[in-house]
Amino acid sequence: MQRNYIIVVCLVLVLGLALTSGGLAQEEGDTWRPPALTSLEPAPWRLDHGAWAAGVTDEEVEFVEVPVTADTFIASTYPYDWKSFEKEDSLWFGTDWDLGHLRTLLRWDPLPSLPGIYAGAAVYLPIAGQDPEMSMATRAYQVEGSWSAPKWQTQPRVWETPIAQFTIGTELGWYWFDISDLASKWHGDWAGGYVIPNYGIELRGPETSGRAVKGMWSREAGPDAPIATLVVAYVPDRTPPVCRVEPLPLVSSNIIVVQYSCTDSLSPVVASKLQMRQDDGAWQTVSSGGFFDSNYVMTDGRGGKTYAFRAQATDRFGNVSDWTPDGAAVTTVESVSPEGVARPASALRVGAGIHFPDELFSWNDPGPVKSGMGRIDRSYADASDGVWHSIKEGQLLPLEIGHHYLFRQRGIDSAKNMSSWIATGPALAYYRYAEGRVLAMNEQPLAELVLRIEPAALAPVVTDASGVYTAYLRSISGHTLGTSLASYDLENPYLPETAEDIGPQDHHVRSSSEGVRNGSFEAPLADEWQLEGDMVGRSQSALTESNHVLRFGADEQFVTLSRDGTTFSCLAIGQDGSMHLAWTEGSTLVYQSRDQLSTDWSYIEKPDSVTISRQYFGKCILAADADRRVHLAFTDDWTSGVYRIRDLDGNWSEPQLEPALGHSKQIVHSLVLDSSGTAHIILEELAAIMQDDGKYTIAHKLYYVQRKASGNWEAPVILASFQVPDQWSSYALSGVHADLALGADGTRHVVFAGDDSVGLAYRSSLDGRHWSTPEMVSAAGRSPTLELSRDGDLYAFWISGNSPYGGRFVYAKQSQSAWEEPSVPDVTNYLASTLFYSIVQDEKGVWRLFLQPRAGHEYLFSGLTLDTLKEIMAIPAVNIPGAFLVDDRSAMLYLLRHYEPDPSYFPGHRTDLVRLSASYVSGESQASQQIFVPAAVSVPMLSWHGGVGEIAAFTEGGQLYVGTTSATGEWHDLAPVSRDVGAHVAWVDLSAWSGQAMTLTYRFDQRGDSSAWAWLDDVHVGGVPLNAGVTLNRAGQLAQAGQDFSFAVSVSNRRPMSLTIPLEVTWPAGWPLQETSEMPDEARDGVARFGLPLDGETSTTLRFTVIIPTDTPRSAQTIAARLLDPMAAEDYTPDDNQAAMTLVVDGLAYWLPLSLR
């Protein structure tokens, strides 16, 4: 050990002498520093990086020198493997006989910000000593761990592959090597946002036997000694950004959307400014911030005014762009006033007070560019004096019984264009209606105005099993009595005489007949009018609820989604009114859509097959942009965040969900699309960290990221970062919940919840890059939802606490940029375990809350206000994927119902999609269920047609059943119409409607992996049998050139008499007919004709096999069958029905078959 120590001292002395005598010359009194990079020639590394690739010359490049900030070396031989050398004045690398392997560590930290665009970097080493005097191969490695005073035993790890390999010659002096790529990732400004830890580099020489070492001074050698230096090249940015404001239409509505962008080819834009000028006024700044690609939405444009917009931007180095040209974006707000129509009213009931009769007026915006109605001015006058009095909306009118009154309105649209006043004629104010007359408060008639009530079109009253019936009331003689509900005894009905003068207003009636057998008539307190005359007695109103209570109509639909159960689902309403639904069936993701609320669902698509774990509550989000592209994001146990986009052709693509985020699992919490097609996404990353006790802690990072309509992703921004103990022994479950709302001005609002220390927090950003400081909304919460009300207020909704088993429903409002105290709706105690909810706001600003308690999965609640909830339905095992409002009086609510039906028909678990059509009408809240799921029916598919109502197709025992509804909702024709249709109906549509008949096109699964098509013509609501028709089976098949192809044609006679059916079958000419099940009457190339005798209500099937020639081109080919004019059977009138299918040879694609009348 003493010998080793002596050797080390000798080596240090030798190297020290080399540094002072044989090293670089250092004149007495001079302070030597490394020379500028530009004085070292050649410097080929400069030509391979950064700005030079864009045509920048060497003269434009400048340099920054960064002396090493930390340095040391380590030795491998005992006893020096435990010693640190950070205080030595020299550094060594290579191999010595006695000290073993020597390695030098260098670090430059912190790095400076550059006054320009990063171009490259090189390390300069002042080699001042060597032993022996010989060239030495040297390698530089990227260090991957932190270090301060390392020993050989505690040295940091390095990257396996060297970042540089070079040779140090025998001449002492400066040597350099390129680290441009590595250095660019050490600094955020240099790397454009992508940063890795800066742990420096490590130098190694040959690590073999023998001696070969190189040495240089360390930072401990004093200020005059040359030390390792990082030289960074950059290009000064003197180029300002360029801004563009997109042209505007010549004429706009009051809402003007200004799209502008500012770009810089060298450095990022850090600030931009948008200014507006009205007519010839002064320029005013209307939007500013750090964004450089944005939309500004102006909502207060005034009619007839001209608005011009211009933009300017500043880049990171202070270069300011010119203003865009003044005339680049100019528009004038439309100046067409609203038009209104006033309908006459001769009588108005004021017994319980009356509001202004808005129903007598209607307004429209006649201009080609429409701003929409802004407000309506209202006034009334007593006809006796003609003095007009203004009145606010919702205020009761102080009318006197027996007086005649005039009413008028004036419309002002959102662009402040004002119409002229429009007025009604005089209307008589009366107290109530009885015995066919309108009465004053003294029960004396005011006028001979006869009003009757009758069922609409004398249609029969329809009842269901529960005794609830449907009828219609109409006001007679054109007098409006207001919207009223009534009921009468079904067993003792009162059907008044038919009136010739039918008024315009219908009132839908649904109620229970129990307790009114004496013919009494019930009415809600909101209207309080009674019918007498032929009816005995008067009613005693039992209704105590206020007006506009949720009531379910008769068109509820339960449509089976899956028999295997559903892990998660999501529903979205597109910007064009289309509907989109996704859910899981087993391990498969399934998607469906429908164009509008009144059209059939599209055929089921499966965009991807993924592994879905039943142990994880997956997240599924759908959105549809203005161009009808569908965005779908979801997460499962094994997928690191999945993002799909469906184009207009139905093709699904999978863009990269996010760039340069490194953890192992991502969860998408929120996805919002704006009008430009930009996707705003809240994304969470999770990573499991094992602690010393073997338990895991979950590290969470919450990001905001944008995806432009062009497909480009913006750099992600971290919103929150924290760690949560893993209580579930699996980091598949996230403890974070978040939601995002997008304001009209582009402001991003985000609320997120983490563990108890984080609570429920809120942040906002105007540009998506600069975010406000987190603001506490609640100390604890989960499942948050953000909603912007129609008046621009921001609401947050959540479930109290952090329990995964639910909690109380809570909400808070943001007022004057501050959050008010949270509120809990006043509901019954068993709502304390709420887990599922959906909330929407109607056109009048009233919140509609649909809430499902976790306990028992048995009750569904709705409320007119957030403080008043009401039980509306009892459905077992329901959660709520979505709810939305059709208008301010009706809603559509979508539920998922999980249950186990009769195992003899439905083995296993089953999930139904439940569509509930709801109306907000006067009267007590009722929830009647008219569910169309007949016994032993598999997968009913429902469609809708305006002339019929609804149509359903389903299968039972291999037979196809068809049912239709009348306008009142009654089901007809629940009878088999076809046989041998396979497993179940998969798609159904109404392709034609004429009178009482329709043509039905349906699709069904044959063997689970293929499909067949069929058509049924003239399905009659009244039960009339089907006419003769032709069905072509095995449609939509792929064919291969050089092979046989078989198909079948089925012909059915649905009439009771015997017929000879003339049939013609055609296929491509040149395809030989190899075999047929029946000889044709006439045959030639590609054509065969038959006269098929069929007894009444029978059918037959013809089978064909043709040969596809090997030289058949790669194209679509058609096989068709049609009915010809009859040769016999004088009672038969043909429908000229035709069915066709399209083959695609060589597997290109295939088209759907046709059904022609």
- CATH code (residue 1064): 2.60.40.10
The pLDDT, as a whole number, for residue 806 is 62
Pairing of strands 229-235, 117-127: antiparallel
Considering the domain architecture, whether residues 303 and 329 belong to the same structural domain is answered as: yes
| Angle (nearest 5°) at CA 32 between 26 and 35 | 115
Which stretches of 966-1043 are assigned E, i.e. beta strand?
971-979, 984-994, 997-1005, 1011-1020, 1029-1032, 1038-1039
Residue 1019 in any domain: the answer is yes
The pLDDT, as a whole number, for residue 761 is 86
Which tokens go with 147?
A: 């270090």
Which residues make beta-bridge pairs with 143?
158
Considering the domain architecture, whether residues 219 and 299 belong to the same structural domain is answered as: no
Considering the domain architecture, whether residues 140 and 14 belong to the same structural domain is answered as: yes
Number of domains making up the chain: 6
Note the pLDDT tens digit of each residue in 751-809: 988 655 557 888 888 888 788 878 888 877 777 888 887 677 888 888 776 565 566 77
Considering the domain architecture, whether residues 56 and 190 belong to the same structural domain is answered as: yes
Looking up tokens 């009915």, which residue turns up?
Answer: 1123
Q: Given phi > 0 = left and psi -120 to 50 = alpha, else beta, which region is 792?
A: left
**What are the phi and psi torsion angles at 940 (to 5°)?**
-70, 135
Question: What burial class does residue 479 get, using C-beta atoms within 10 Å of its C-beta: 0-12 exposed, 13-18 middle, 19+ buried?
Answer: buried
In angstroms, rounded to a whole number, what is the distance separating the alpha carbons of residues 901 and 913? 15
Residue 876 in any domain: the answer is no
Do the Cβ atoms of 1047 and 1030 come closer than 8 Å? no
The pLDDT, as a whole number, for residue 279 is 93
3-state secondary structure of 1080: coil
Residue 287 in any domain: the answer is yes
Considering the domain architecture, whether residues 1056 and 1152 belong to the same structural domain is answered as: yes
In angstroms, rounded to a whole number, what is the distance separating the alpha carbons of residues 239 and 257? 29
3-state secondary structure of 1072: coil
The domain spanning residue 347 has which CATH number? 2.60.40
Say which residues have a Cβ less than 8 Å from residue 458's Cβ, sequence separation at least 6: 495, 498
Note the pLDDT tens digit of each residue in 468-522: 333 323 222 333 222 222 222 222 222 222 222 222 223 323 222 222 222 222 2
The pLDDT, as a whole number, for residue 333 is 94
**By C-alpha distance, which of 769, 797, 773 is closest to 783?**
797
Amino acid making up residue 753: A
Considering the domain architecture, whether residues 172 and 48 belong to the same structural domain is answered as: yes
Number of helices (H) and strands (E) in the chain: give both, helices first.
3, 81
Question: What burial class does residue 400 get, using C-beta atoms within 10 Å of its C-beta: 0-12 exposed, 13-18 middle, 19+ buried?
Answer: exposed
Q: Which range marks the domain in which residue 250 is found?
A: 242-333
Do the Cβ atoms of 454 and 493 come closer than 8 Å? no
Residue 834 in any domain: the answer is no
Which tokens go with 1004?
A: 């069904």
Which tokens go with 615?
A: 């142990």
Q: For the whole model, what pTM was predicted?
A: 0.36
Do the Cβ atoms of 338 and 417 come closer than 8 Å? yes
Looking up tokens 């946002």, which residue turns up?
Answer: 193
Looking up tokens 């680049």, which residue turns up?
Answer: 328
Which tokens go with 655?
A: 């863009």
| Alpha helix positions (H), 957-1106 | none
Instruction: Tell me the C-alpha to C-alpha distance, in Å, between residue 582 and each of 268, 604, 729, 735.
Output: 40, 10, 29, 24
The pLDDT, as a whole number, for residue 231 is 87
Which tokens go with 152?
A: 């050989």
Considering the domain architecture, whether residues 101 and 6 belong to the same structural domain is answered as: yes
Amino acid making up residue 436: G
Residue 1139 in any domain: the answer is yes
Considering the domain architecture, whether residues 1041 and 1146 belong to the same structural domain is answered as: yes
Considering the domain architecture, whether residues 102 and 225 belong to the same structural domain is answered as: yes
- Long-range contacts made by residues 637-645, C-beta under 8 angstroms, separation at least 24? 637/611, 637/612, 637/613, 637/732, 638/610, 638/611, 638/613, 639/610, 639/611, 640/664, 640/665, 640/666, 641/665, 641/666, 641/667, 641/668, 641/683, 642/608, 642/610, 643/668, 644/607, 644/608
Considering the domain architecture, whether residues 19 and 142 belong to the same structural domain is answered as: yes
338-355 in b/e burial notation, b at 16+ Cβ within 10 A? Answer: bebebeebbbbbbbeebe
Considering 1007, 1026, 1045, which residue would you say is the last residue of a domain? 1026
Residue 773 in any domain: the answer is no
Mean pLDDT split into 10-residue runs, the chain, 1157 residues:
34 38 32 34 37 52 88 87 84 88 93 81 90 93 92 90 92 88 79 74 90 91 87 84 91 89 81 91 84 72 93 88 91 93 77 78 86 88 90 84 88 91 84 59 54 33 32 29 26 27 28 25 26 22 21 30 48 63 62 52 44 45 75 63 73 62 66 84 75 67 84 80 58 65 87 70 85 80 79 80 65 79 59 59 61 47 50 46 43 47 40 46 30 32 41 52 48 47 43 40 38 39 34 47 74 66 82 86 87 76 81 70 51 40 39 27
Considering the domain architecture, whether residues 1014 and 1045 belong to the same structural domain is answered as: no
Considering the domain architecture, whether residues 248 and 118 belong to the same structural domain is answered as: no
Considering 235, 266, 294, which residue would you say is the last residue of a domain? 235
| Angle (nearest 5°) at CA 642 between 640 and 647 | 160
Residue 799 in any domain: the answer is no
Residue 967 in any domain: the answer is yes
